[in-house]
Amino acid sequence: MSVFKVCLKILQKNLPAIMLYFIIFVGLSIMLTVLLRPAETGEFGRTKVDIAFFAAEETPLVSGLREALAAQVNFVPMEEETEKQQEALFYRKIQYILRVPDGFTESFLRGEQALLQKTSVPDAASAVYLDLRIDRYLEILRLYVKARPELELSQQVAFALDDLAIDSEVVIAAPETESGVWVRLRYYFNYLAFTILFVIILAVSSIFLTFNGLDIKRRNLCSPIGARAISLQCYLACAAFALASWFLLVLLSLIFGYREIASPATWFYILNALVFTLCASGLAFFIGNLTRNGEVVNAVANIVALGSSFIGGVFVPQELLGGNVLRIASFTPTYWYVRANGDIAALTNFNLQTLSGFFAALAVQIGFAMAFVIVALVIGKRRQTAA
């Protein structure tokens, strides 16, 4: 096992740089996982839109409008400064600005055309949502103004608000959505793909960069150890490093999500991560065989890890990616890894039938791993003849 030992020595030498990446990425993924709030399901929650409300007059109509909107909006205090409002709208601190111009109530009551001024993100669903409510309040109020003109405005507003308080029944059909508890772990495991890919490619390639140096290669070829044994021991060392990284990341996940250890989902996540790790080491093995230039490896590690993570759904959920992007992504193992995680997150009971999608994704990853290793061995063989 002399080759194996040398490989570990090379890894040890490169450990500080690798650890640096490792710590940064893990820190980042934990931060992102904590920041993400899982969507609550089971009960209908009305969407609340953040709005800025400016009224140039205070009348019962205006206070009624505020009350009518209260169920659907959060009123965000905002200064009367165009640039501040523009900026808040740009970053969606507010999504809607509503202005009641001076004299609105009077012209409304007289039956003239009266317009409120709104500013929204163009074509936004949130604007449609609020427009519906505002229009309805003013329509019903106008009905009372016309049908019961003898009443005080405040009484008319009170009637309108009373009607607007009617709430129709909402039924949640099938709570077959994400079960909330293990959703957070899903995000942690999704980010893990990036860390694993980057770190393993970097580490594994460092071994190959050393071994593929022409002089060292020639020296090794005339040693009594066969070429196959050298390759095998190299791969063993890579696998050992990969498994160590996997173990460390899983350990962190268990510390971090200790409440979910009992759930079978956790263990399926871990299994998926293991298969992905093997796949990543196969990929790294392939890249390491591809080049002798350290800078190229660094570039490739960045492109492969970042690229497949972006289009495979690590940073942005797959549901939000376009069909074409996903089709391209399905040629990367990352896509299948993230997809398998998604399958698990969506499950409430685990049996062979519900898990079939998950196992199919695992099989694809194993296929990728084998393909990478085979291609790498072929390239390695050619290189050897060239040496």
Between residue 234 and residue 293, which ones bind another protein under the rule CB under 8 A?
none
State the burial class of residue 43 (Cβ atoms within 10 Å of its Cβ: 0-12, 13-18, 19+): exposed
Question: What gap in Å lies between CA 197 and CA 128, rounded to an integer?
Answer: 43
The answer to whether residue 39 forms part of the interface with another protein (CB under 8 A) is yes
The window from 7-15, 232-240, 252-260, 313-321 that contacts another protein (CB under 8 A) reads 313-321
The answer to whether residue 121 forms part of the interface with another protein (CB under 8 A) is yes
Of 145, 65, 136, nearest to 98 (Cα)? 65
Q: For residues 198 and 246, which CB has a smaller minimum distance to another protein in the complex?
A: 198
User: Per the structure block, which two tokens stand in for 71?
Assistant: 């169920």
Instruction: Using DSSP bridges, classify how beta strands 49-55 and 73-75 pair: parallel, antiparallel or unpaired.
Output: parallel
Give one DSSP letter per residue of 313-327, joined into a string.
TSSS-GGGS-HHHHH
The answer to whether residue 89 forms part of the interface with another protein (CB under 8 A) is yes
Residue of the chain from 63, 72, 220, 384 that contacts another protein (CB under 8 A) = 72
Residue of the chain from 132, 216, 225, 360 that contacts another protein (CB under 8 A) = 132
In a 3-state reduction of DSSP, which class is residue 99? strand
Residues 6+ apart with CB under 8 A from 231: 377, 380
The pair phi, psi for residue 40, each rounded to 5°, is: -90, 135
The answer to whether residue 66 forms part of the interface with another protein (CB under 8 A) is no
Q: For residues 156 and 281, which CB has a smaller minimum distance to another protein in the complex?
A: 156
Q: Is 123 left (phi over 0), alpha (psi -120 to 50) or beta?
A: left
Q: For residues 53 and 144, which CB has a smaller minimum distance to another protein in the complex?
A: 144
Residue of the chain from 12, 113, 349, 385 that contacts another protein (CB under 8 A) = 113
Residue of the chain from 12, 166, 224, 386 that contacts another protein (CB under 8 A) = 166
Length of the chain: 387
The window from 135-143, 239-247, 269-277, 281-289 that contacts another protein (CB under 8 A) reads 135-143
Question: What gap in Å lies between CA 202 and CA 66, rounded to an integer?
Answer: 58
The window from 145-153, 186-194, 228-236, 278-286 that contacts another protein (CB under 8 A) reads 145-153
Q: For residues 117 and 154, which CB has a smaller minimum distance to another protein in the complex?
A: 117
According to CB under 8 A, which residues from 207 to 236 bind another protein? none
According to CB under 8 A, which residues from 90 to 109 bind another protein? 90-93, 97, 99
